[in-house]
Structure 1
Amino acid sequence: MSSPTPDALLGASDVRELAAALGVRPTKQRGQNFVIDANTVRRIVRTAQVRPDDTVVEVGPGLGSLTLALLEAADRVTAVEIDDVLAAALPATVEARMPQRAGRFALVHSDAMQVRELPGPAPTALVANLPYNVAVPVLLHMLETFPSIERTLVMVQSEVADRLAAPPGSKVYGVPSVKANWYAEVKRAGAIGRNVFWPAPNVDSGLVALVRRAEPIKTTASRREVFAVVDAAFAQRRKTLRAALAGWAGSAAAAEAALVAAGVSPQARGEGLTVEEFARIAEHRAAEDTQHEEPGT
């Protein structure tokens, strides 16, 4: 891999000049806050442990600050961008600032939530400054759609980072925590100051690292069945699971039966359960449904 030129990455003045040339103003609607500090994007790449043989997928590349840093370190980078102007401009930015790596870059102009396939080799890593208003659904969609992604590092709003990495029993443990843990081991990986963005956001940012589980959660229940239990349990998080899962199970009695069969106290609350325990509840409910089906149905 040839070394990029020292000024290949975008600095604050580069970002503003490029945005002005394109007539781009960051929009709150799409959660756009562009990183303007080269040291920050290099730190993100280091923290993500991007390897020379990685194929990295990046969601929301914007003007290309992180994209260029990823191209310094990875074998290939595929960026997914929804914005028409930004998507049209990014390949030219890569070509102009890192021509020796341009052949290793691909652009997918799409809503990340609609992406089902990517060009080139299967991605091995996901590294992204995710738009804060859609960070969790985009993260979960990418992990589900691309099982080849082994390592992930995302920059999100600090509170979202706390929720994603929260352990059972934590005050902020909830749906994002459990669903992320279905796919991966999750941990906080650092904090990012507001002054490295343009415009500066009104919230702090955090890095979250996810390493995909070597073995999937052992359960006969499907992901959809497990996630349905999780959603029901946290929809009324102040209630006991016997009450919170009554609608999901069909009645409080049916919920209690599934909980007892799974070895979970009906008086427990969702915030205290591991993803494995949620899977057991879903498994026992699914088994009970099968037992009550009419022959031939």
Structure 2
Amino acid sequence: MNEKREIAVPSRTKEILAKHGFTFKKSLGQNFLTEPNILRKIVETAEITEQTNVIEVGPGIGALTEHLAKNARQVLAFEIDDRLIPVLEDTLQDYPNVSVVHQDVLQANLPQITSEIFEEELPIKVVANLPYYITTPIMMYFLSSGLPVAEMIVMMQREVADRISAKPGTKAYGSLSIAVQYHMEAKLAFIVPKTVFVPQPNVDSAILKLTRRQTPAVSMSNEKEFFKLTKAAFQLRRKTLWNNLQNSYGKDEATKAWLRASLETAAIEPSRRGETLSLEEFAALSNAMEAGKQG
């Protein structure tokens, strides 16, 4: 067992930063967690065992990576900041089951890299403290990558976690909630106070647990059009569904007749607002719109 103090212990974090002369880059949204108990809780929430392969994004100086390495079969970590590569070589030298790839994860061919690095085909989980400014693009990239990710346990700004896990009829519910919940079941696991980070961010974070559904939450005839519709419905939150649909699809008589007929088929009142519609209702409306186009 590694006798060194854990990387996340504040005094050791400070020593590592000083040893490597590391300074934080605001543009990369770097905030390092300095509370080992929270890292343990993340690993427990993710249910990481020796039968799990893990992908981490933005390992920083390796605080979470260390906890993952102690529990997982293998860990693949993507780090974009070249200044952190030698730091990670130093801090993670006792963990042969960790591979650090110096690459922007959004540019990575995930199926190819994982097949090269992971020696065994085990369930893949994504566990990461995501930079605030790029949380959504990274999550959506994993969802569309073709990689069979079983779960994502990700730390993000609390407000974003609230939006992703929001239910219809709430203020936080929107097209982001739908985009993620279509593929995954979203559950807010716990809150992480801003005081346990260096440097301290302005807001609290949250751990969100996303579990991939066997099949998408709803079935529709045209997935692309379904997502176009959900974006349109939330374009101007204070407007009715009818106004938002006209703004997005057009106000000519033929388009209005098509929209009216589609709403009627789906049994949805035009005067409702986007945030009151469930995934099922959006799917019904999308299918009605597609059928109306062909008619």
The C-alpha deviation readout for 1:168-190, integer Å capped at 9, x for no partner, is: 11111112211110111111111
Q: Structure 2: how far apart are the matches of 1:4 and 1:146?
A: 36
Q: Structure 1: how far apart are the matches of 2:232 and 2:109?
A: 27
- Aligned residue pairs total 284
Could you say if the C-alpha distance between residues 6 and 252 of structure 1 is closer, same or farther in structure 2, counting changes exceeding 3 Å? farther
* TM-score normalized with structure 1 length: 0.88
Q: Do residues 255 (structure 1) and 259 (structure 2) align?
A: yes
Q: Structure 2: how far apart are the matches of 1:115 and 1:256?
A: 44
Q: Structure 1: how far apart are the matches of 2:263 and 2:25?
A: 46
Q: Structure 1: how far apart are the matches of 2:290 and 2:142?
A: 26
2:289 is aligned, of 285, 289, 295, to: 285
Output aligned runs, 1:201-280, within 5 Å: 201-250=201-250, 251-280=255-284
2:39 is aligned, of 37, 41, 57, to: 41
The C-alpha deviation readout for 1:3-51, integer Å capped at 9, x for no partner, is: 4446354321222222233332222222110011212211111112222
Q: Structure 2: how far apart are the matches of 1:10 and 1:48?
A: 18
2:99 is aligned, of 89, 97, 106, to: 106
Q: Structure 2: how far apart are the matches of 1:148 and 1:227?
A: 22
8 Å CA contact retained: 2:5, 2:12: no
Q: Give the aligned residue type for 2:98.
A: F
Structure 1 residues not aligned, in runs of 5+: 293-297
Q: Give the aligned residue type for 1:32.
A: Q
The C-alpha deviation readout for 1:74-100, integer Å capped at 9, x for no partner, is: 1111111211212343233211xxx2x
Q: Structure 1: how far apart are the matches of 2:153 and 2:190?
A: 10
Q: Which SS does the other structure have where 1:191 is aligned?
A: strand
Question: Hey, what does 2:134 align to over in structure 1?
Answer: 134
Q: Structure 1: how far apart are the matches of 2:200 and 2:69?
A: 25
8 Å CA contact retained: 1:239, 1:269: yes
- Percent sequence identity is 37
Could you say if the C-alpha distance between residues 160 and 88 of structure 1 is closer, same or farther in structure 2, counting changes exceeding 3 Å? same
Q: Which SS does the other structure have where 1:53 is aligned?
A: coil
Q: Do residues 143 (structure 1) and 143 (structure 2) align?
A: yes
Q: Do residues 68 (structure 1) and 60 (structure 2) align?
A: no
Structure 2 residues not aligned, in runs of 5+: none
Question: Hey, what does 2:5 align to over in structure 1?
Answer: 7
The C-alpha deviation readout for 1:129-184, integer Å capped at 9, x for no partner, is: 11011112211221221441111111111111111111111111112211110111
Q: Structure 2: how far apart are the matches of 1:262 and 1:147?
A: 34
Could you say if the C-alpha distance between residues 274 and 45 of structure 1 is closer, same or farther in structure 2, counting changes exceeding 3 Å? same
Question: Hey, what does 1:177 align to over in structure 2?
Answer: 177
1:54 is aligned, of 52, 55, 64, to: 52
**C-alpha RMSD over aligned residues:** 2.1
Could you say if the C-alpha distance between residues 166 and 288 of structure 1 is closer, same or farther in structure 2, counting changes exceeding 3 Å? same
Comparing 105-114 with 237-246, greater Cα deviation is found at 105-114
1:116 is aligned, of 109, 112, 115, to: 109
* TM-score normalized with structure 2 length: 0.88
Q: Structure 2: how far apart are the matches of 1:60 and 1:105?
A: 14
8 Å CA contact retained: 1:11, 1:36: yes
Q: Structure 1: how far apart are the matches of 2:209 and 2:99?
A: 24
Question: Hey, what does 1:190 align to over in structure 2?
Answer: 190
8 Å CA contact retained: 1:249, 1:285: no
8 Å CA contact retained: 2:182, 2:218: no
